Amino acid sequence: MYKKIDITIRVRAGDTDFTGFVYNVRCLEWFSIGRLELFRSIGIRYSSNGKIIIDKKPQVISFVIGEVYARFHSPAKFDELLELQTQIKDIKDKTIHFEHNIYNKNDGRLLISGYSTYVCIDKTRVKSAKIPEKIIKLMKV
């Protein structure tokens, strides 16, 4: 079993398009926020050059997006409160698979579901790399 995080998001005017609904690309930003906050909650941070920091020590690795998918079930509107749930669903040698669900916080409707897969890379060689065991241990419940 792997870590999970829930985050509350308020839809801002800039999150909407001419229809008055949330602009579809915004969910990809929210998925990224979920991943970053999940990492932060377990002690993993990013440096300004994109390297992972654990225990204040820069690592030679980072994670980059390999795949992302979103399904839109119902629209969100300006000023609504949303609940973003992000959970690590699977970890392989070089990838982490996240599941994301965004709900209307007031009525519980599922608005957006999706997933993202991140690839571990060696920042020096700019090639995929095996995820260090220390990081995998941090991600387990």
The most distant pair of C-alpha atoms in the chain lies apart, rounded to whole Å, by 48
Distance CA 97, CA 91 (A): 6
- What is the overall mean pLDDT for the chain? 96
What's the pLDDT at 60? 93
Share of the chain above pLDDT 70, in %: 100
Given a cut of 90, whether residue 50 has pLDDT beyond it is no
pLDDT value at residue 49: 86
- Which residues are CB-contacts of 60 (< 8 A; sequence separation ≥ 6)? 51, 122, 123, 124, 129
Q: Please, is 132 exposed, middle or buried when counting C-beta atoms within 10 Å of its C-beta (0-12, 13-18, 19+)?
A: middle
Q: Which CATH class is domain 4-139?
A: alpha beta
Say what the pTM is.
0.93
pLDDT of 90 reads 97
> Residue written as tokens 């920042």?
123
As to burial, measured by CB atoms within 10 angstroms (0-12 exposed, 13-18 middle, 19+ buried), residue 138 is: middle
Q: What is the tens place of the pLDDT at every residue in 83-140?
A: 999 999 999 999 999 999 999 999 999 999 999 999 999 999 999 999 999 999 999 9
Nearest Cα residue to 117 out of 125, 128, 132: 128
